[in-house]
Amino acid sequence: MSATLSPTPRTRLGRAKERGRTDRDDLYAVLDAGLICHLGVISDGFPMVVPTGYGRLGDTLYLHGSTGARSLRAAAGSPVCVTVTHLDGVVLARSIFHHSVNYRSAMVYGVARLVEDPEERLTGLRVLSEHLAPGQWDAVRKPTAKELAATAVLALSLEEASVKTRQGPPSDDEEDYALPVWAGVLPLRVAWGEPVPDPALPPGVPVPPHVRDR
Amino acid sequence: MSATLSPTPRTRLGRAKERGRTDRDDLYAVLDAGLICHLGVISDGFPMVVPTGYGRLGDTLYLHGSTGARSLRAAAGSPVCVTVTHLDGVVLARSIFHHSVNYRSAMVYGVARLVEDPEERLTGLRVLSEHLAPGQWDAVRKPTAKELAATAVLALSLEEASVKTRQGPPSDDEEDYALPVWAGVLPLRVAWGEPVPDPALPPGVPVPPHVRDR
């Protein structure tokens, strides 16, 4: 796979081309910085968009869920779209029309493959786990055979993907810059809070470094 | 419309029913607390999930975009799914299997209606604007006829919707509570940063209270 994102009819940006990114590293950066994606599937002829976890290994995205979940059943072997979005701020312009948001977003298109090989299933689950909660795979109880049987793992190639970002101040119409109104960006930040121990935790169990220092 | 969310085949929760919410107020709360949604459409037979702004007026959700946007064209008069998700934390359990996230999520299904009445179009745009940037509609230049002509406004009824949330500590298997591992929640918070003035702003234009105090 090349280091650039080759546009296909779906991923070629129709509008705001200057917001497109073509480096594979940009795609990885957007995906790796996210915690959940929005998985789009077609279920009974209707689009369905479900928030769910994911993980990346090279150019493969892994998704998982209960074998009973409608969205997972609709996704296996079918075309899907996975979108990861970071909202970085609200862009306040001098006109309503040029209001916008600063964001980084990745869209991945493809046919989701149901992973059946036991080794790849375990790899996928580990990748998913380490993405959401790095360090936990080795710290807690591993999945049992029964738990594994209840879990569907899907793989999606990153071959067909696009990245779009907007950053910086508003882009106003030339004549609007003279208007006596404030313009700029109201930034948004996602921050971790202090770990909240499970009330059922026995006294004296310390917060592990990989959680504390995240 | 009743004050409860009446389940349809699509919105009836197949799994984790205890995470379902049936009050219309819960739906409003999730929608009103969000800034962007993920709009799912079917485009050329494929699902497509696009992050975009929205606003709510009563039981109508408004969406908008360039008349040239592929996603908007695919949505007008067609079935769509709009999902709004708040990620509140990562749930660290005593087993990999019970790791989870705390979240609030709303899914709205329906056929998006292209708004053509000029008055409703303006109402929809104002609702969208006030949702993303409250106070700005009255503070900055309003849309021109040309800008309005370049903007598509879509309306989506909130009639068919579901709300799902998870909050609180992990739910571990009974026998795992004895394991000597830390368990709890690592909370996530979205916070506004300090307003960043547009470098092109003339000196002496103050940050307006509706921006400063957000």
CB half-sphere exposure, B2, CA atoms < 13 A: 8
Per-residue pLDDT band at B11 (split at 50, 70, 90): confident
Report the residue of chain B nearest A111, measured CA to CA. Answer: B46
Are the CB atoms for A23 and A161 separated by under 8 Å? no
Is residue B17 predicted with pLDDT exceeding 90? no
Instruction: Point out the residue among B68, B90, B136 whose CB comes nearest to the CB of A14.
Output: B68
The pLDDT tens digits of the residues spanning A115-132 come to 999 999 999 999 999 999
- Give me the CATH code for the A17-190 domain, please: 2.30.110.10
Distance, in Å, from the CA atom of A158 to the CA atom of A84, rounded to the nearest integer, reads 13
Chain B residue numbers with beta carbons less than 8 Å from the beta carbon of A47 are: 40-42, 47-48, 79-81
Q: Is B196–A184 a contact, with Cβ atoms under 8 angstroms apart?
A: yes
Q: How far is A15 from chain B (nearest CA, A)?
A: 7
A214 Cβ partners below 8 Å, 6+ apart? A134, A192, B186
Is residue B63 predicted with pLDDT exceeding 50? yes
- Look at residue A2 in the predicted model and tell me its pLDDT: 35
B17-212 has which fold? Pnp Oxidase; Chain A (2.30.110)
* Largest Cα–Cα separation, chain B: 67
Per-residue pLDDT band at B72 (split at 50, 70, 90): confident
Distance, in Å, from the CA atom of B49 to the CA atom of A156, rounded to the nearest integer, reads 15
Q: Is B43–A94 a contact, with Cβ atoms under 8 angstroms apart?
A: no
Q: What is the ipTM of this complex?
A: 0.92
The pLDDT tens digits of the residues spanning B158-187 come to 999 999 999 999 999 999 999 999 999 999
Q: Is A14–B93 a contact, with Cβ atoms under 8 angstroms apart?
A: no
Q: Look at residue A214 and give its three-state secondary structure.
A: coil
- Look at residue A16 in the predicted model and tell me its pLDDT: 58
Please state, as a whole number, how many other Cβ atoms lie within 10 Å of the Cβ of residue A36: 19
Report the residue of chain A nearest B198, measured CA to CA. Answer: A184
Q: Is B136–A189 a contact, with Cβ atoms under 8 angstroms apart?
A: no
| pLDDT lower than 70: segments of chain A | 1-7, 9, 12-22
Structure tokens at B79: 């079935």
Report the residue of chain A nearest B190, measured CA to CA. Answer: A190
- Look at residue B13 in the predicted model and tell me its pLDDT: 60
Q: Look at residue B133 and give its three-state secondary structure.
A: coil
- Look at residue B21 in the predicted model and tell me its pLDDT: 65
- Look at residue B1 in the predicted model and tell me its pLDDT: 31
Is residue B31 predicted with pLDDT exceeding 80? yes
Per-residue pLDDT band at B66 (split at 50, 70, 90): very high
HEC secondary structure over A188-211? EEEEECCCEECCCCCCCCCCCHHH
CA A48 to chain centre: 16
Q: How far is B137 from chain A (nearest CA, A)?
A: 6
Q: Is A95–B190 a contact, with Cβ atoms under 8 angstroms apart?
A: no
Q: Please state the rounded mean pLDDT for residues B105-125.
A: 97
Q: How far is B156 from chain A (nearest CA, A)?
A: 14
* Largest Cα–Cα separation, chain A: 67
- Look at residue A17 in the predicted model and tell me its pLDDT: 57
For an interface test with B, give the residue of A140, A142, A153 to mutate (most B CBs within 10 A): A140
